[in-house]
Amino acid sequence: MEAYKRVTLARKKTRPTGQDFINNIFTDFIELHGDRCFGDDPAVITGIGYLLDMPVTIIAQERGKNTKSRIKRNFGSAHPEGYRKALRQMHLAEKFNRPIVCLIDTSGAFCGIGAEERGQGHAIAQNLMEMMSLKVPVISIIIGEGGSGGALALGVADEVWMLENAIYSVISPEGCASILWKDSSKTKEAANCLKLTAQDLLELEVIDKIISENHRDFKNVYRELKLNLYKRFRKSQILSPEILTQTRYNRFRKFGALDITK
């Protein structure tokens, strides 16, 4: 399947959102609000729940499902308070030794004046730094669109998984085409160049697992994710915090490095 076809599937209006994944994978979910600094950001849902019998912290970017909810959720584009809320929950997870699941689905962080005034860049950078040293297992799953730093701010994990038709890229194909060629008609060509599909990123070792969408039968997707997350967290929980954090650090340090043994 060509790359731009994956882009359209990742953005499809009927595609399940972060809230759908929470409702179908976790039980007894309790949402927790606010960054204890400025306010609450509806574009990011955070809280605690159970993964089978395991208490976990869940952080999900939420786009909304109709016009009213999309406006409320700012189409999944978080403000700084959204990322600070996520980080607050990560620290609580670390305090109570709960694994963390991040569900990524955003075209990018919000770039409005207010967001910049409140330190959007710093909030994202803070998450990157703090997530690297979290002493609990972290798995990030790209469920739709993983756009730029807005996605990466929840993507520093022990493992990064992607749904079969999700995308993950530093820039949108439209933005890339307008910058490189000053021609929006080359969006499809840009999508191919960006290597943004799950298949491309697995080959590049940027992600660790592709979750099949079973012809977009998401009941099976939820079931597979629930079991895979549970098994992976059970394995991670026997590791010492030192090994966990060092392995996570090594995972990101190798990006872009040439393996001369191959």
Please determine, for residue 15, whether its predicted confidence score (pLDDT) is greater than 70: yes
| 258 in any annotated domain | no
Q: Give the global pTM.
A: 0.93
Residue 155: how many CB atoms within 10 A of its CB?
A: 23
Min mean pLDDT across 89-98, 192-201, 207-216 is at 207-216
Residue with tokens 């409140």, as numbered in its chain: 118
The larger pLDDT score, comparing residue 170 to residue 258, is at: 170
Q: Check residue 214 and give its pLDDT.
A: 79
In a domain, residue 256? The reply is no
Percent of the chain past pLDDT 90, that is, above it, reads: 90
Number of structural domains, the chain? 1
d(CA 87, CA 113): 22
Rg (CA), the chain: 18
Q: Is residue 259 part of a domain?
A: no
- Report the CATH number at residue 202: 3.90.226.10
What average pLDDT does the segment 144-151 reach?
92
76 pLDDT band, cuts 50/70/90, is: very high
- pLDDT average, residue stretch 185-203: 93
Q: Does the structure show a pLDDT above 60 at 18?
A: yes
The predicted pLDDT at position 1 comes to 66
Confidence at 257, pLDDT banded by 50, 70, 90: low
Range of the domain at 55: 2-249
Is residue 262 domain-resident? no
* Integer angstrom CA distances of residue 135 from 54, 148, 229, 249, 250: 17, 25, 17, 12, 15
109 domain-assigned: yes
CA gap 28, 48 in Å, rounded: 8
Position 30 in a domain: yes
Mean pLDDT of the region 62-72: 94
Q: Cα separation of 256 and 249, whole Å?
A: 14
pLDDT at 156 over 90: yes
Rounded mean pLDDT of the chain?
93
3-state secondary structure the chain: CCHHHHHHHHCCCCCCCHHHHHHHHCEEEEECCCCCCCCCCCCEEEEEEEECCEEEEEEEECCCCCHHHHHHCHHHCCCHHHHHHHHHHHHHHHHCCCCEEEEEEECCCCCCHHHHHCCHHHHHHHHHHHHHCCCCCEEEEEEEEEEHHHHHCCCCCCEEEEECCCEEECCCHHHHHHHHCCCHHHHHHHHHHHCCEHHHHHHCCCCCEEECCCCCCHHHHHHHHHHHHHHHHHHHCCCCHHHHHHHHHHHHHCCCCCCCCC
Is 213 contained in some domain? Answer: yes
- Position 260 in a domain: no
Q: Is the pLDDT at 36 greater than 70, yes or no?
A: yes
Q: Is 147 left (phi over 0), alpha (psi -120 to 50) or beta?
A: beta
